[in-house]
Structure 1
Amino acid sequence: MTDIHVTVPKEKWAPVDRGAQDAEFIAAPSLTYWQDVRQRMWRNKPAMASLAFIILLILAAIFGPMLTHHTYYDQDLKLSNIPPIFEVYKAEPTDASAQYVFLNSGNFKLYEVAENGEILGLVRAKRKDLMKKQHIYVFGDAEVRVDYSQLPATLVDGDGNAVESIGYRWNQTNWFGTDSLGRDVLVRQLYGARISLTVAFVAAMVNFFIGVFYGGIAGYFGGNVDNVMMRIVEIIATIPLTLYVILMMVVFQSGFLSIIIAIGSVFWVDMARIVRGQMLSLKNQDYVAAAKTMGASTKRILTRHLLPNTMGPILVTLTLLIPSAIFIESFMSFIGLGVSVPMASWGTLTAEAVETLRAYPHQLFFPAAAISLTMFAFNFLGDGLRDALDPRLRK
């Protein structure tokens, strides 16, 4: 066998610089627990989309009504039940300018609109032929009729031929349309969001300040203290939550303040149970025994050692209980035990829209969609927090 020797120039070699600390060098950056939670939360797209939706909803509820000239109580019966999208027709030119109208097939009325979809006002019929089920309108020398002998109503010319539309336009005056009293649906939606989010905020605060500390004290002390405190919880939990809220609303009479009191008085029960279970599993840990040995007070052990270690389940439970509070408020308002008219709530908007569902389905769509999307958003956010706060679920 022939040996092959390859000579490598000296300048091709360079020594490796090594220090004593290089053996302990960690290439990946060191992250704290909450930094790791934030990174995993950021990678969860449904949770981040839900968080963005909730933030936008809060901003819209606070500042949205300030950016419009409509209010939640102003009524204009001439502009009642107008849809958010309508079909526009071009009438005969009047005074050398084109005139655009749209037909509200629900009430057989004709409205004058601008070409971009802005509503200018109600067009008065010249006469009404109830026998033939027609309303006759005159534009210049042309005659146009609203024929409702067969539903849906149609717009025809004097010869009975259907008037050709120029397309659909978005309602520029009332983006979500109007209700049966001519009130702007969008502004009432935003005021309804204020009420629902206020109820959610109250439920979250009650859960945190009452449920967390009540369950924490019961779980930490245990024994007779735990028995007495948990029996009170069981008595409250025996009555179904919805029935209890209804009873409270009957006693306090319906209204916004009453529903806050009703939900706030009983909504902390589930949180107290969860925190109690966490306390029972954590109070026997070594770091708690070390804190007791060093003379730490009960208050310090609870607030500085035990409660911070239960923040994961607390945050997840909060985000999952908030949609329940929103649904309860909407249900109470739907059956007439919630906020009082003319205040707007998603529940009251739904109740009003049910009466005109077949003719104006858009009035039910918006509050129902708001309730559904908000509940989905909080549930997705809760699932994302649960995955991010549990290191065992790290991928």
Structure 2
Amino acid sequence: MENVKMSPDMWTPLEKHEKDAEKVSRQSLTFWQDVKRRLKENKVAMVSLVAIVIVILACVFVPMFYPITFESQILDFANIGIMMDIYEVDGSYFYMNGEYYLIDVTSDGTLLKKHPLIKDDTTNKRYIYDFNGKEVIVDYSPYFNAKVEYMNLEKKAKKDSSIDLTEAKFNLDNAKKVEIKAGDQILNPVDRVHNKTYILGTDNLGRDMFIRILHGGRISLIVGFVAAFVNLIIGVLYGGIAGYVGGRADNIMMRVVDVISAIPTLLYVILLMVVMGNGMMPIIIALSITYWLSMARLVRGQVLGLKEQEFVLAAQSLGASTKRIMLRHLVPNMMGPIMVSATMQIPSAIFTEAFLSFVGLGVSAPQASWGSLCNDALLTYMTYPYQLFLPALAISITILAFNLFSDGLRDALDPKQRK
């Protein structure tokens, strides 16, 4: 073969785009870096995470600096709403509560004191007050008389079907609830202002709804996170041991799980309260007894599949201990399902605590939780709906945020969706 002489003319320089043709343009990411990236791309999950952080920070730190404590009560300021219709008499402002008592306020909505009553005219259904020498009369007789008339006629109608209640019902529906007079002048609200003293109003004992909702959030969140922590620790260890050991030990351990799960959580709470009394601790213990069961079943199923994988067999052949295999090999490979399950247990525990407090099996007064606040508002929710709506809204927002974040976390941890 003849020698071939090579010259520079035989070579053509590569273009820039040809040089970069096989260049890796995307940074290599670990599994958890990819999870973080995909979680950030999920806008719903990130908004939910922000909502969760705001709720936690508000419940933990705001009560430390708020000037009113959750047990403080002023009966004179009971059942005062978020917005107030204020009246003016000779430069003085007042607000009338649901019991037709007058409360002195400033023009911007700051509560001052309950105005002293001069005369309670029960016969004529009137309250009489004095404002700087001017007599102010709160007359609630029109609605009272219309209601009495309707009730009397309704009793007669039960015995006589020919009696028509239409006119009496019309009079009742259109009767004025109350009429306020200053001398001969009928007073009407001069402004509608926000309650500056109690930003979310007060309950039937004059306690601040805002600080009680935040304090109730503390109770509910403590229960939720403690249940999730116990669920994580006991469930992972118990389920991991049962799945890894297998055989008769696995069978016995899972039958124990079946026996415990057969007893309702409510029964555990009742039995613990008989021994320990009302409070947060019986609920925490009851949830700690029952909430790890689902995690144990989940982890057991994961371990049964992973322990036959090559990396586990390799660790066993190298003489790795059971503890090392569990903690260094099996648990890290199950962290996706474990984290999702633990996150979803938090809203479940919060709702369980709220339900138990709602039926009277939670914290006792003056302590508050979201469930007990809803229970306290049942008697007056038709008249003061905000007392039921506000704690119910807090429960709904928190549980929804945790559930949406759990869904986003599950999607981020799903290897099938990795791109």
User: TM-score when scaled to structure 1?
Assistant: 0.89
CA distance in 1, matches of 2:84, 2:13: 78
Q: How does 1:175-324 map to 2 (within 5 A)?
A: 175-324=199-348
Instruction: Quote the residue 2:94 is aligned against.
Output: 101
Residues 16/348 of structure 1: CA separation in 2 closer, same or farther (3 Å cut): same
CA distance in 2, matches of 1:281, 1:62: 41
CA distance in 2, matches of 1:117, 1:79: 13
Asked if residue 121 in structure 1 is aligned to residue 116 in structure 2, the reply is no
What secondary structure sits across from 1:131 in the alignment?
coil
CA distance in 2, matches of 1:25, 1:249: 67
Deviation at 1:394, TM superposition (A): 4.7
Residues 44/161 of structure 1: CA separation in 2 closer, same or farther (3 Å cut): farther
- CA offsets per residue over residues 141-188 of structure 1, 9 Å max, x none? 543322322276334224666423223211111111111111111111
Q: Which amino acid aligns with 2:108?
A: N
Residues 119/155 of structure 1: CA separation in 2 closer, same or farther (3 Å cut): farther
Asked if residue 367 in structure 1 is aligned to residue 394 in structure 2, the reply is no
Deviation at 1:140, TM superposition (A): 3.0
Q: How does 1:87-98 map to 2 (within 5 A)?
A: 87-92=85-90, 98=91
CA contact (8 A) 1:108 1:153 kept: no
Residues 112/193 of structure 1: CA separation in 2 closer, same or farther (3 Å cut): same
Deviation at 1:274, TM superposition (A): 0.8
CA distance in 2, matches of 1:356, 1:152: 21
Q: Which amino acid aligns with 1:87?
A: D
What secondary structure sits across from 1:138 in the alignment?
strand
Deviation at 1:199, TM superposition (A): 0.5
CA distance in 2, matches of 1:42, 1:143: 65
CA distance in 2, matches of 1:152, 1:238: 57
Q: How many residues align?
A: 376
Asked if residue 134 in structure 1 is aligned to residue 133 in structure 2, the reply is no
What secondary structure sits across from 1:86 in the alignment?
strand
CA distance in 2, matches of 1:160, 1:394: 78
Residues 115/18 of structure 1: CA separation in 2 closer, same or farther (3 Å cut): closer
CA contact (8 A) 1:144 1:158 kept: yes
- CA offsets per residue over residues 279-306 of structure 1, 9 Å max, x none? 1111111111111122211111111111
Instruction: Quote the residue 2:15 is aligned against.
Output: 16
Residues 273/162 of structure 1: CA separation in 2 closer, same or farther (3 Å cut): farther
Asked if residue 144 in structure 1 is aligned to residue 136 in structure 2, the reply is yes
- CA offsets per residue over residues 200-259 of structure 1, 9 Å max, x none? 121011011101111111111111111011000000111223333333333432212222
- When the two chains are superposed, the root-mean-square deviation of aligned CA atoms in Å is 2.1
CA contact (8 A) 1:246 1:332 kept: no
Asked if residue 37 in structure 1 is aligned to residue 29 in structure 2, the reply is no
Instruction: Quote the residue 1:58 is aligned against.
Output: 56
Identity %: 49
CA contact (8 A) 2:120 2:127 kept: yes
Q: Which amino acid aligns with 1:32?
A: T
Q: How does 1:336-351 map to 2 (within 5 A)?
A: 336-351=360-375
Q: Which amino acid aligns with 2:369?
A: S
Q: Which amino acid aligns with 1:67?
A: F
CA distance in 1, matches of 2:104, 2:44: 44
User: TM-score when scaled to structure 2?
Assistant: 0.84
Instruction: Quote the residue 1:81 is aligned against.
Output: 79
CA contact (8 A) 1:254 1:338 kept: yes
What secondary structure sits across from 1:342 in the alignment?
coil
Q: Which amino acid aligns with 2:321?
A: S
Deviation at 1:33, TM superposition (A): 1.3
CA distance in 2, matches of 1:160, 1:42: 66
CA contact (8 A) 1:103 1:155 kept: no
Q: Which amino acid aligns with 2:93?
A: Y
Residues 273/161 of structure 1: CA separation in 2 closer, same or farther (3 Å cut): farther
Deviation at 1:15, TM superposition (A): 5.5
CA contact (8 A) 1:242 1:328 kept: no
